[in-house]
Structure formats: structure tokens, C-alpha cells
Structure 1
Amino acid sequence: MTSTTSTTRARFGATALALAPAMMFAALVSHPFIARLPDATGVASAVEQGTTQWGVVHLLTAVGVILTALAFLAVRVWLRDAGEDRHSAWALPFVLAGSALYALLPALEFAPMAAALTGGDVAGVQSELQPWFIPILASGGLLFAVGIVGFAWAVASCRILNRSLTYLVVTALVVLALSRMVPLGAVQFYVQAIAGLVALWPLAYQLWRAPRLTRASSGRAAAARQAPAVS
């Protein structure tokens, strides 16, 4: 029964790990391109050209952020079960806090859509939001980055993946962390979207494929690292 419960939990975690970056990718690459964030004029133009698209994209982004938080919660449980209870333990609160703040940004972006639908000043509304938008983006990105670095460290030390995939996932996690803090559309929309897929899909596949084998392998690797050298 315990084994079945653990496997079921792992499958739910793997599903979250697969869906989260896919949802974020769909939302981010569908976002109307804005070269610099925030840009009141660019936002006004994008909203007025397609209010429905604007609303759907930001709703998908909010859902993607929630799934991302759940995905890293699943990674934390997986790493804990695999014997890693150091870096991921302190990293998780930073990821959750950063995700909560980042989720506020798509919520704010419904205001210019409402202004467009009611005949208001879209650019003016967006300009009034900028003093809130910038600190939320910066603080949320910083908190998320700190947490992601902790998870990257945990993945590297726990060895739940082979060496090549570990390098790939750790690098992609660092890129994902940095992309949240860069206020350029190309980075926020495209680099972040691709980095999320590259970072989380290998973890999702491994967790789905062999959660118990991974934990056992990780335990052997940890024991080997802790064993005294024989001269």
C-alpha cells in the first residue's frame, strides 16, 4: 500500500512537472510582443488590438505560475525522499514566495483590458500600474531566483539524473531564474519559456519513469560520497 501511494504521488508530481512549463510556454509565446517591460504605450497597443487574447494569455500565465509552484513542491518531496534534505528545504519557500508575487503581474494586467473594454485611457491606466509592476517583478524575480539556485544545487548534489542531464537541467534552472529578473520581452517571453521546458521536462520524465529506482540510486550515490577513502 505504501509503495502504491508513493508511486501515485510521484505520478501526480511528474504530471505537474510536465504541465507547468508547457502551460507557461503556451502563455508566454502567445503574449503580444513588448520589447521592454513595462511599456504603457506598447501595452495599450497590444490590448486594443486584441482584448480577448490579452485576457486569455494572462489567465494562462497565472495558471502556469500556480502549476510551477506545485511542480517545485513535487521536486522538493522527490528530493527529500531521495535523501536530499538540505538545499531544497530552504529553497522551496523562496520559490513559492517568488511565484506568488509573479502571479500578481498577470492579475494587474487585467486593468488595462478593462479600460479598453469600457473606453478608458489604456495607456494611462498602465502608467499608473508601473510603480507597482516594477517592484513586484523585481522582488518576485529575486526570490524565485534564490529558490531556483537552491533547487539547482540540490539536483546537482543528489544525482537523481545522469551526469549529462544533470548539467543540462542545472544550467536551464539557472537560466530560468535569471530570465524572471530581466525586463526585456525577448527574455521574459521566449528565454523563460524555453528554459522552463528544458529544466523541468527531464525531471518529469525521470520521476514518472522510475521514482523508486531513482531514490535507491541516489541513496547509493550519497553513501558512496560519504564512505571513507580506502588507501
Structure 2
Amino acid sequence: MDRPEAILLDMGGVLLDPADRWDAESFPLSFPNGLPEPAPLEWFLAMSEDIAKTFLALKPPRPVMDVRPFVETWLWRCKTVPTPAAVRRWLDVIEQWEVREVYEFVPGVLATLRGAGFRLGVISNTLTAGRALRAHFCRAGILDFFEMTLFSAEFGVNKPHPALFQHALDCMGLDASKAWYVGDKPQRDICGAHGVGMTTVLVDGPHADRAHDGPEYMPDLRIEDLSALPAVFGL
């Protein structure tokens, strides 16, 4: 495989813990300090699980889903008028579900790759807009490593739709043959990146067995986690 000009990365399972569940058990992972807005936790969890279950029930590849109507409905249920300001505040809170701890090796890996001349970017499926995620990346000291952070909820389609990958390539002025994509889900990341002609790297994890579902799901390379990527280039 030729050395790429750029390496584009998935988020959950590659850079940080995945936020696949929005429930009481996973609540402390995204909200270690509790809710930033005054409200019963049971109400917030019920609203969050309603949003997550509705999204997961959509037929893959799932379309982008507007969360605002859910917030409005659940505010009425707790006898709160869903003013634009109230809805905005709770949308900001819901965005925190997708904020999880960055793996400890990630800043060093990104610094090594950038230092070796690789251009870096992020392509990730998200249920909400990326404001909280970009702020989280900034606090973790990794935002400036990326030329581009592309989140599906802002773009309008989810992986594996090829338009998401092609838009990222276009934003960075890249030909697909010059870019690698690193993800942890064959059914979204590998087949989607293959669909536009990118070289693919699969991070081993709970979804890795899906690589055997078909040739389009089979990665060009497999690694245990992102910390193993620099060694691929002799770094």
C-alpha cells in the first residue's frame, strides 16, 4: 500500500469511547458532574432513551434525525413551555451524550502523525451537531491536529453513504487514492470508505467480525487500536 497524504479517522472506538448507549448505566461517562440544567434525572433519561431508540429503529443506512421535536414533546410532559431558549438549552445538554473520554494514547499518536507530515481529519456518524464534540476535542488538546471535522448530523447523511466521505475528500482537496480511513465498524466505515476508493484500516473491537460479511467490508489493514498506526509507517 502506498503511503497516503492524509489519514481520516472515525471518532467512537478510534479516538474515544463510543457513545452507543444513552441510558442510566452510561450516563456517568458523558455527564460525570451530573446534569448541567435543573431537571429530574429520570425525565432526562426517558427523553434520551426515546431519542436513541427511535433513531436505532430507523432502517440502515439511517437518515439524519431531527432531535428538536423530541425535546419539545418531553418539555411539555414535564409541564415546561418549550420556548426556543429552553429547547436550545436542552439540545446543548443532549449533545453531551456523544462526549466521551479521549483514549490516553490519542494525543501522542496524532502528534506523531502530524509531525511525520500526514494531514488529518475526522468523519463520524453523530446523532447531534458537533459543537460539544469540537469543544471536547479542544479541551483534550487534539482539535488543532485536524484540518476538518465532519459530523453526519451537520452534513445530512450518515455513513456508509459515500457522499459523506466524498465531501470530506473535497473539503481537503484530496483524491481518494491519497487518503486512508480508520474506523471500527466494517458495515459503516470500511464499506463506506471503500465505496469512494479510499484505503481502509479497521480497528479491532466488538464489530470487527462483520468484516467477513462481504468483500466490501474487508479492510486493507487491521490494527489493535490507533496506537499501532504510526508503526505501520515506521514511526
TM-score, normalised via structure 1 length: 0.30
Greater share of helix residues, 1 or 2? 1
Higher strand fraction: Structure 1 or Structure 2?
Answer: 2
